[in-house]
Amino acid sequence: MPERKIGICPQTELTCTFRKDTRACRELDFEYCKDFAVITGSANKPLAQEIAYILDAIIPTATNMFPDGETNVKIPESVRGKNVYIIQSGQPNPNDRVIETALMVDAADRASAKEITVIFSYFPYSRKDRKDESRVPISAAVMAKTLKNCGAKRILTIDLHAEQEQGFVDGPWDNLYSSYVLIPKIKEYVDNSVVVASPDAGGVPRVNFYAKMLRTTDIAVVPKIRNPQEGNVATSLGVLGNVKDRNVLLVDDIIDSAGTLVKAAVKLKTAGARSIIVAAPHALFSGKALENIANSPIEKILTTNSIEQKEKVLENPLVEVVSIAPLITSAICRVQSARSLDQLIIDTNGKNH
């Protein structure tokens, strides 16, 4: 098949030609196909390539670096009058990703794009969602306002650290859930006799959701205290719930140094858990995270490619990476054709709509 321009099929000049083995091919209505373009930043090119494969499209990278280290942005084709979708991840090097995304939004806005949607597979600075001590910023709010001020109409994220961040700006902000792709994979490892556990009290709503999807009523919590003066250092206090002789699914949203997860896993194992696997959509694996996990009771980590993973992660037998490309592709198609995103939520039977 010949190459197609971003958003336009080269065969008909009217409609995209989708691969027949994807969900997306049935979701984009004919009259909407011509007026959209998808571009990507430099943070997670493999994810963009997967989305391009599903769309049967070419998704160009719109950024490179000047010799002095400044970011250069140029959209390779006209986007005048089109809806533009910008795919980006907030890691690695979040400060670079922030300015890169802002410049792409500004470039699309100045190029007379009809509407700009920023898709962050991992939203940078999302853990700074409130003023938890004196003289500190609410960094997630600054991020969102920057995107809006540069010209973004819509923000689309995957598993925000705190859903109230959607209220930081006026206008549409859609937050989707990687459970769309994680739940089917989790079911390959556990059944409805599993205990779903959280490494902290704040994750209880997430645990309740996963328990409902897996059709179990058994949950556990490993509450912790965190000293804000010590950064990511947290202390687990114990286990609330019965895990003795049970398989445990430990659910979190972000794996950073893995200190919290490892401490929770040790507490769960001490309390009698038979086995422990982890599900978390965003895995940074900072510092000695992989070493910490290898020396813990954790038997498997299920995560996504919201952040581009290094070879040492992809080759690690304890880690399995599930792609969110089908989720993002379906979201693009539904936004483009003015259809509800509710259909991307897994129903109570754990099935994808």
Which member of 224, 263, 267, 269 is catalytic?
224
Half-sphere exposure at residue 134, Cβ-oriented, CA atoms within 13 angstroms: 0
Instruction: Give φ, ψ of 211 to 5 degrees.
Output: -60, -40
CA distance 276 to 128: 29
Place of tokens 């609330």: 240
Residue 181 CB partners (closer than 8 Å, separation 6+): 304, 322, 323, 324, 326, 327
CA distance 1 to 18: 11
Q: List the one residue out of 58, 146, 156 whose CA is nearest residue 109.
A: 146
Query: Looking at the DSSP assignment, which residues form a beta bridge with residue 73?
Result: 63
77: its two tokens: 């084709």
Query: Looking at the DSSP assignment, which residues form a beta bridge with residue 338?
Result: none
CA distance 288 to 294: 10
144: its two tokens: 């969102």
3-state secondary structure of 236: strand
Sign of CA dihedral 102, 108, 112, 118: negative
Q: Is there a catalytic annotation at residue 74?
A: no
CA distance 40 to 49: 10
CA distance 229 to 177: 31
C-alpha torsion angle, residues 48, 53, 54, 56 (rounded to 10): 120
Instruction: Give φ, ψ of 204 to 5 degrees.
Output: -60, -45
Half-sphere exposure at residue 133, Cβ-oriented, CA atoms within 13 angstroms: 4
List for the chain the helix, strand, coil content (%; round to 5): 35, 20, 45
352: its two tokens: 């994808």
Q: Which residues are catalytic?
A: 224
